[in-house]
Amino acid sequence: MLKELINNGFGNELDLNCAEKIFYGGNQAYGLNLDADVLKAAAGFGGGMGIESVCGALTGGVMVLGKIFVESVAHQSNIKEITTEFLEAFEKEMGSMNCAALKKEYRTEELKCHHVIVKAAEVLDKIILEKKLCL
């Protein structure tokens, strides 16, 4: 699903940031049918919202989860629990959700934040697969 898509270079030719790779990739991998104008919503979340706060791969993932699991509004869904599970699983694997800390630990000049993005995609795939089977 998304992890495989990212590992195969998805988004590299478009020079997508971390949030865009997850959101655009999620659109393709999970068949979300979002148009190009909607996808632009992820742009400002890259690089931890531009201030190295919460990793953009995670905020992109949260947007994917919202599209999949919210029918109308958040308060009428279990999105809070699903988002919490996603973020906690990622943090357990990577040691942080903070962009600056993740960049310090995992970013290289050659691969950029590829490892972080792939891990976010892997966790997202797992959560979506588990939750969709439960619906």
In three state form, how does the secondary structure of the chain look? CHHHHHHCCCCCCCCCCHHHHHHHHHHHHCCCCCCHHHHHHHHHHHHHHHHHCECHHHHHHHHHHHHHHCCCCHHHCCHHHHHHHHHHHHHHHHCCCEHHHHHHHHCECCCECHHHHHHHHHHHHHHHHHHHHHC
Mean pLDDT of 111-132: 96
Partnered with residue 54 across adjacent β-strands are 98
Mean pLDDT of 30-55: 97
Mean pLDDT of 20-34: 97
Query: Range of 85's domain?
Result: 2-134
Mean pLDDT of 13-35: 97
Q: How far apart are CA 89 and CA 73, in angstroms?
A: 24
pLDDT above 90 (res 9): yes
Answer yes or no: pTM beyond 0.85. yes
Q: Mind listing the pLDDT tens digit for each residue in 43-65?
A: 999 999 999 999 999 999 999 99
Mean pLDDT of 106-127: 97
pLDDT above 60 (res 135): no
Query: φ and ψ at 112, to 5 degrees?
Result: 55, -130
Query: φ and ψ at 57, to 5 degrees?
Result: -65, -30
Q: Mind listing the pLDDT tens digit for each residue in 73-84?
A: 999 999 999 999
- Residue 132: pLDDT band by 50, 70, 90 thresholds? confident
How many independent structural domains does the chain possess? 1
